[in-house]
């Protein structure tokens, strides 16, 4: 499917795959080799984006909204979904992985060669902010995610009573993160608020880190 709009709207190409079986992982690679591989992919204008978060955070709805797909018919992701997006001249391979508690032990199977980690937060789910913070902190300790940038999307910000961006930032302890470049944005998967800005940050951040123009 190819969606083309005016000059101000990016050209989209979507390729989706779904599975309940986690892919096999490669062996650990030295940090220097990861840097070389990451820069080589960026020169080819290709990036691997891993989207994680607790169940019901709205990950799949965000991806559907970005792709201009129907956001009213979304079911829980039991395995993973891959979407390939051509955005601003870059090919973004977005891995949307299920966030149910029973699936989180499989997250590690998707870490390899990740350029950007998108962590989606349900800003209405005040009762699970501690769980959300704990899972995120664990991810940032993973060797295979070192060097990846972090974009936190505070979803459902359009819902009355949701935590605002500063509150989510404090709940997750983002200011204590020193190991990764990070950014937080309040967003709405339903209205599309800040989703395009999020993708632009992902690309610009990668350019800045790898000195690409």
DSSP string, 6-22: -TTS--EE--EEEESSP
pLDDT digits (tens, 9 = 90+) for 124-151: 999 999 999 999 999 999 999 998 999 9
Question: What are the residue ranges of helices labelled H in the chain?
Answer: 31-43, 59-66, 129-140, 165-172, 195-210
Is 3 inside any structural domain? no
> Is 164 flagged in the annotation as binding?
no
Q: Report the alpha-carbon distance of residue 187 to residue 196 in Å, rounded.
A: 10
Is 26 inside any structural domain? no
Number of domains composing the chain? 1
Judge whether 122 and 61 are in contact, CB under 8 Å: no
> Is 191 flagged in the annotation as binding?
no
Is 24 inside any structural domain? no
pLDDT digits (tens, 9 = 90+) for 3-34: 333 333 343 343 444 444 444 444 333 445 55
Is 69 inside any structural domain? yes
Is 2 inside any structural domain? no
pLDDT digits (tens, 9 = 90+) for 75-109: 778 788 999 999 988 999 999 999 999 999 999 99
Residue 64: give its domain's CATH number.
3.40.50.300
Active site residue 29: no
Q: Of 15, 100, 197, 204, which residue is the catalytic one? A: 100
Is 118 inside any structural domain? yes
pLDDT at 150: 98
Is 76 inside any structural domain? yes
Is 175 inside any structural domain? yes
> Is 176 flagged in the annotation as binding?
no
> Is 77 flagged in the annotation as binding?
yes
């Amino acid at each position: 499917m190819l969606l083309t709009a005016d000059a101000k709207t990016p050209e989209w190409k979507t390729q989706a795959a779904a599975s309940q079986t986690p892919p096999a992982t490669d062996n650990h690679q030295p940090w220097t080799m990861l840097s070389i591989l990451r820069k080589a992919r960026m020169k080819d204008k290709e990036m691997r984006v891993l989207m994680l978060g607790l169940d019901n955070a709205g990950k799949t709805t965000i991806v559907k909204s970005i792709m201009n797909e129907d956001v009213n018919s979304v079911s829980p992701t039991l395995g993973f979904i891959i979407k390939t997006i051509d955005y601003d001249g870059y090919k973004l391979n977005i891995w949307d992985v299920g966030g149910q508690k029973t699936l989180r032990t499989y997250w590690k199977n998707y870490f390899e060669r990740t350029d950007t980690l998108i962590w989606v937060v349900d800003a209405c789910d005040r009762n699970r902010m501690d769980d959300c913070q704990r899972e995120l902190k664990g991810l940032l300790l993973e060797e295979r995610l070192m060097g990846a940038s972090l974009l936190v999307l505070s979803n459902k910000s359009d819902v009355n009573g949701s935590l605002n961006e500063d509150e989510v930032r404090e709940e997750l302890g983002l200011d204590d993160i020193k190991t990764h470049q990070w950014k937080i944005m309040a967003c709405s998967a339903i209205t599309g608020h800040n989703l395009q800005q999020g993708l632009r940050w992902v690309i610009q951040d990668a350019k800045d880190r790898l000195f690409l123009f």
